[in-house]
């Protein structure tokens, strides 16, 4: 038996505009109806494992909690990082947490944003790696390359160790010529970023080569606290931790490394071009999602989320449409999307941070229109959910109920507002909104005032620990 550790961090840059800083790709449904995080959990079914541990940024905690709610058989423990510090500290937190519970399990470390098309082959690779990890080795999974890929790092295999190989060296992302030579020579695998080892063995090797990480994570875990469904670590201690990947902190130095080959249709979907390569396509090689019209076009990926998107006479393009942004590039340049995100940051824009529709633990809001001194939103509140008791210094709000019933607290009054009715919340008034019904509550909110930012909220009470 082992414990799966799922790393669900990410900055949301590589698949912009579908992914954003506060809604990275592991929370998207890119292939089928389930999100990448949910698919990661689903592919563990059939393996003999204990309760998994999931590590995510605290800004994503409610997205994570909502998406894992369906996994009653193996509900994960959710560890919250105040800020990303790369993979080595994340795994150290999971190992230290297990130690505090009196456990020293074998870890199967996975990323929440990978695709594995052949689950049976993945399970077989895990079973091959398990005895190697039990023998004290730190195992990484190397993907059998299918083409000379320049977007992945490589692992050169050494001598055989049972069903694994020693690691001769790690190689950074190569140029095209070098990648082609690796395939011709053989003995090279793609670096998948998945691992298996005993928790204590990992901590020992991490302490040997990167002791500052262990020390910072020990302090952070010592200051932990339980917050509803989450384990929060001490912020100040964790922010002092070095930002290192597990490869840099441990695997490039340890003498205990081993690699197990994996041939299971793996992809980290590191670009829109990578998604096109593994997606279902029409007879012209097009991958089309949403309301799309494609005429005389070939080998093109089009993803339409909100409007009809038409392509005519194009070849090898990527077109991604969301409510507030559109990306058009070639498949060859799709790995450079981060440059667009960087430019948005320089311009102090928000399209790289949030979608127009923003998810909250109580439901969601969709920013329909923003102008000078006004903003219009569609708000959806889940049955039984309640927004925080709050007030605003700079804006008033008008609420018009479209469907469902709203329970409104407005100063010292509490009353119901039903379909086609409205209410007014003055500037500075303490108020709250709740859905007492069994169907989603939908309303239109019209904000007016001198400042309409989301930080103009003073919370007095909150079910979700945000007060």
Least Cα distance to 267 among 115, 117, 122 occurs for 115
Give the angle 161-164-166 at the CA atoms, nearest 5°.
65
Is residue 153 a contact partner of residue 170, using CB atoms and an 8 Å limit? yes
What's residue 177's pLDDT?
A: 95
On the question of pLDDT at 227 being above 90, the answer is: no
Name the packing angle between helices 199-209 and 211-222 (round to 10°): 120
Compute the mean pLDDT over every residue in the chain, rounded to the nearest whole number: 95
| Comparison of pLDDT for 13 and 465, the residue scoring more | 13
On the question of pLDDT at 160 being above 90, the answer is: yes
Least Cα distance to 100 among 266, 255, 233, 236 occurs for 233
What's residue 359's pLDDT?
A: 87
Is residue 264 a contact partner of residue 116, using CB atoms and an 8 Å limit? yes
Q: Using one digit for the tens of pLDDT, what is the confidence trace for 82-131?
A: 999 999 999 999 999 999 999 999 999 999 999 999 999 999 999 999 99
Angstrom CA distances, 212 to 95, 197, 208, stand at 16, 21, 10
Give the angle 452-450-387 at the CA atoms, nearest 5°.
35
On the question of pLDDT at 74 being above 70, the answer is: no
Q: Which CB contacts under 8 angstroms, 24+ apart, belong to 406-414?
A: 406/381, 406/433, 406/434, 406/435, 406/441, 406/443, 407/433, 407/434, 407/435, 407/436, 408/432, 408/433, 408/434, 409/433, 409/434
For residues 198 and 200, give the distance between their C-alpha atoms in angstroms, rounded to a whole number. 6
Q: Summarize the confidence of residues 187-201 as an average pLDDT.
A: 97
Q: Summarize the confidence of residues 252-259 as an average pLDDT.
A: 97
Structure token digits, residue 360:
């909250």
Show the DSSP H helices in 210-326 as ranges. Answer: 211-222, 235-239, 246, 272-278
Q: Using one digit for the tens of pLDDT, what is the confidence trace for 268-301?
A: 999 999 999 999 999 999 999 999 999 999 999 9
Q: Is the dihedral of CA 70, 444, 447, 376 positive or negative?
A: positive
Is residue 103 a contact partner of residue 260, using CB atoms and an 8 Å limit? no
CB proximity list for 369: less than 8 A, separation 6 or greater: 375, 376
> Which DSSP category does 409 fall into?
E
Is residue 293 a contact partner of residue 308, using CB atoms and an 8 Å limit? yes
What's residue 464's pLDDT?
A: 84
Distance of CA 382 to the CA centre of its chain: 23
On the question of pLDDT at 141 being above 70, the answer is: yes
Helix (H, G, I), strand (E, B) or coil at 167: strand
On the question of pLDDT at 190 being above 90, the answer is: yes
Q: Summarize the confidence of residues 357-364 as an average pLDDT.
A: 90
What's residue 73's pLDDT?
A: 64
Q: What percent of the chain has pLDDT over 90?
A: 90
What's residue 1's pLDDT?
A: 81
User: What is the per-residue burial (b if ≥16 Cβ within 10 Å, else e) of 57-67?
Assistant: bbebbbbbbeb
What's residue 416's pLDDT?
A: 98
What's residue 72's pLDDT?
A: 67
> Which DSSP category does 293 fall into?
E
Q: Summarize the confidence of residues 405-431 as an average pLDDT.
A: 98
On the question of pLDDT at 410 being above 80, the answer is: yes
What's residue 362's pLDDT?
A: 94
List the domains of the chain with CATH numbers: 3-267 (3.90.550.10), 282-341 (no CATH), 357-461 (2.60.120.10)
User: What is the per-residue burial (b if ≥16 Cβ within 10 Å, else e) of 268-305?
Assistant: bbbbbbbbbbbbebeeeebbbbeebebeebbebbbbbb
């Amino acid at each position: 038996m082992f414990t799966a550790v799922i790393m669900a961090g990410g900055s949301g840059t590589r698949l912009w505009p579908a992914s954003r800083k506060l809604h990275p790709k592991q929370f998207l449904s890119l292939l089928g109806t389930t999100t990448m995080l949910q698919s990661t959990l689903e592919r563990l079914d059939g393996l003999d494992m204990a309760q998994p541990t999931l590590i995510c940024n605290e800004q994503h905690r409610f997205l994570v909690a909502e998406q894992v709610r369906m996994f009653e058989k193996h509900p994960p423990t959710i560890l919250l990082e105040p800020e990303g510090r790369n993979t080595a500290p994340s795994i150290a937190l999971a190992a230290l947490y297990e130690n505090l519970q009196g456990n020293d399990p074998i870890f199967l470390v996975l990323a929440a944003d990978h695709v594995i098309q052949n689950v049976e082959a993945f399970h077989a690779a895990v079973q091959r790696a398990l005895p190697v990890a039990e023998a004290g080795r730190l195992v990484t999974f190397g993907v059998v390359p299918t083409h000379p890929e320049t977007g992945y790092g490589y692992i050169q295999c050494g001598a055989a160790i049972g069903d694994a190989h020693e690691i001769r060296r790690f190689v950074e992302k190569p140029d095209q010529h070098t990648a082609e030579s690796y395939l011709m020579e053989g003995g090279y695998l793609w670096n998948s970023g998945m691992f298996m080892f005993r928790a204590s063995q990992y901590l020992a090797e991490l302490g040997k080569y990167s002791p500052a990480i262990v020390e910072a994570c020990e302090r952070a875990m010592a200051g932990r606290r339980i917050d509803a469904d989450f384990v929060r670590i001490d912020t100040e201690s964790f922010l002092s931790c070095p930002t290192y990947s597990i490869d840099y902190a441990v695997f490039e130095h340890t003498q205990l490394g081993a690699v197990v080959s994996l041939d299971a249709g793996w992809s980290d979907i590191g670009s829109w071009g990578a998604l096109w390569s593994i997606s279902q396509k029409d007879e012209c090689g097009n991958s089309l999602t949403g309301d799309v019209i494609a005429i005389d076009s070939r080998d093109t990926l089009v993803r339409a989320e909100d409007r009809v998107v038409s392509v005519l006479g194009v070849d090898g393009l990527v077109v991604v449409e969301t409510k507030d942004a559109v990306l058009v590039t070639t498949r060859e340049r799709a790995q450079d999307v981060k440059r667009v995100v960087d430019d948005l940051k320089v311009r102090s824009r928000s399209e790289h941070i949030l979608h127009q529709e923003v998810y909250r633990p109580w439901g969601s809001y969709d920013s329909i229109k923003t102008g000078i001194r006004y903003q219009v939103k569609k708000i959806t509140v889940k049955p039984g959910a309640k927004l925080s008791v709050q007030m605003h210094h700079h804006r008033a709000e008008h609420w018009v109920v479209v469907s469902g019933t709203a329970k409104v607290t407005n100063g010292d009054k509490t009353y119901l507002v039903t379909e086609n009715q409205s209410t007014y919340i003055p500037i500075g008034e303490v108020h709250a909104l709740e859905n007492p019904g069994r169907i989603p509550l939908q309303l239109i909110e019209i904000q007016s005032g001198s400042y309409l930012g989301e930080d103009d909220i003073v919370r007095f009470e909150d079910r979700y620990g945000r007060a």
